[in-house]
Amino acid sequence: MTPTAPLRTPAARPSNVAEAAEFIRAAKADGAAIYPRGGGTQLHLGGAPTRPGTAIDTRALSAIIDYPARDLTVTVQAGMTVAALAALLAAEGQELPVDVPNPDAATLGGALATNTSGPRRLSRGTLRDYLLGVSFLTDEAVEVKGGGRVVKNVAGYDLMKLHVGALGTLGLLTQVTLKLTPKAEERAFVAFGLTGASVGPTLDRLHASQARPGVVELLNAAVARRLGVALPGHDGWVIVAGFEEKRVTVAYQLATMKAELATAPVRDLTEFRGPEADALLSALTQNLAEPAEGVSFKASVLPSRLAAFALDAASRHGVAVHAHALAGVVYGHLPADVSREDAAGTLARLTPAAGSLVVRRCPPAWATVLPTLPLTGVALDLMRAVKHALDPDDLFNPGRLFRDTSPLESP
């Protein structure tokens, strides 16, 4: 996927599913495209639109359909924001433990379509792990349901998972059912500074730790300084390790980790508990939102090679590096003043070392010259087959997932 400027299209804001279906029917009759839109926080992801159409704003589709709190499930319309869902669940001491940047704007449908996750993915998983069911409007303006409203749902095909990460290309999400978890009694983090040479050995220690941290974030100095939280080691690298559990368990894990790190080459170990821990998690999550300028990428790397990859990335043209270290995911951002040649050279060097590297945001004019790892072979064939089966006329978000045709120029 290569990011480009989103197409400026007329926007429709249906107040219910029936109205959304009417917009789809009208667009198909006119030969126009449908561009689903939630909070607009990740419109930069994916390829350029390839034909004119209508943007359908789903934010008015935000009703609570069913919330049997004792069953630890909730069904809501897909236009509900992540923050609104969190507020609803907090009243029952529950949560959806997936971290999404800009939660006040980001919708659940948008978060699913972009497969957004954050620091807690190491222990809590991603949205895919919590999705029990979806409803979506097809290219025929028919609302189709996949999955169900109970955790032990084994009937039928796992259609709802196809929409996770599909960038809104398979239909218009209208409703989602999610599995929930009780909120942890306590959350705590430890952060410490270290040199580049110590990153690899220290990550090995954390991987083998008896404490079993649920968050392990690796930040270089460029990220640590801009986080807005007083972290140690701003002149080098910072690791943030976190725990969520019962209060007594968190206390044990903190004590265990501090004892294990007593002989490690780290400095300025700092604890964050209570509101400070919540603020740190929020800051780490929000840092994953790509800046409007510069070049942002996401790489998937074997955890055993992550330290070397992160160090290499950080050595080039002021790249800000933020990694989910034990999950093998690295986010990088080249500053706004980087030249196209320097950006292309940096990405070309990093791409072979990654299992995959995706340019998530860049100036639109650079999209054709920045190297990416294209989908090929069986994976691409399967994705095309799914797209053709569910949207044979390429009605939804044409061009965003596959680059088969030339991008339509934005006015």
User: What letter does residue 296 receive in the DSSP assignment?
Assistant: E
Q: What's the CA gap between 44 and 49, in Å, rounded?
A: 11
Q: How far apart are CA 199 and CA 361, in angstroms?
A: 27
- Detail the DSSP E strand segments found in 339-380: 356-361
Extract the tokens encoding 240: 């943030």
Give residue-wise pLDDT tens across range 195-219: 999 999 999 999 999 999 999 999 9
Distance CA 235, CA 340 (A): 28
C-alpha 26/C-alpha 15 separation (Å) is 16
- For the stretch 379-406, pLDDT in tens is 778 888 999 999 999 999 998 887 654 4
**In the predicted model, what is the mean pLDDT of residues 264-284?**
95
Distance CA 190, CA 205 (A): 15
Domains belonging to the chain, first-starting first, are 11-182 (3.30.465.10), 186-286 (3.30.70.2190), 295-366 (3.30.70.260)
Q: Model confidence over 1-24: pLDDT tens digits?
A: 444 444 445 689 999 999 999 999
Write the DSSP assignment of 36-101 as a string of letters.
EESSSTTTTSS----S-EEEEE-TT---EEE--GGGTEEEEETTSBHHHHHHHHHTTTEE-----S
pLDDT at 395: 96
Query: What CA–CA distance (Å, rounded) separates 370 from 377?
Result: 22
The pLDDT, as a whole number, for residue 238 is 96
What is the C-alpha separation between 361 and 283, in angstroms, rounded? Answer: 20
Lowest model confidence (mean pLDDT) among 142-151, 333-342, 367-376? 367-376
3 in Cβ contact with 366 (< 8 Å): no
Q: Which structure tokens are listed for 390?
A: 């569910």
Distance CA 100, CA 123 (A): 15
Q: pLDDT category, 146, cuts 50, 70, 90?
A: confident
> Is 0.75 topped by the overall pTM?
yes
pLDDT tens, residue by residue, 34-63: 999 999 999 888 888 888 999 999 999 999
Question: For residue 119, what are the β-bridge partners?
Answer: none
Choose among 308, 290, 301, 296: nearest CA to 347. 296
For 330, what's the count of Cα atoms within 13 Å in the CB-facing half-sphere? Answer: 30
Q: To 10 degrees, the CA torsion angle through 393, 397, 402, 406?
A: 90
Within the chain, how many helices (H) and strands (E) appear? 11, 18
**Dihedral of alpha carbons 160, 125, 379, 43, sign:** positive
- pLDDT value, residue 368: 72
pLDDT value of position 409: 46
Alpha carbon distance 271, 189 (integer Å): 6
pLDDT at res. 49: 85
Mean pLDDT of 260-282: 95
pLDDT band at residue 375 under the 50/70/90 scheme:
low
Query: How many angstroms separate the CA atoms of 115 and 111, rounded?
Result: 6
Name the 3-class secondary structure at 391. coil
Within 8 A by CB and 6+ apart from 77, the residues are 58, 61, 62, 63, 65, 174, 175, 176
Q: Are 362 and 1 in contact (CB under 8 A)?
A: no
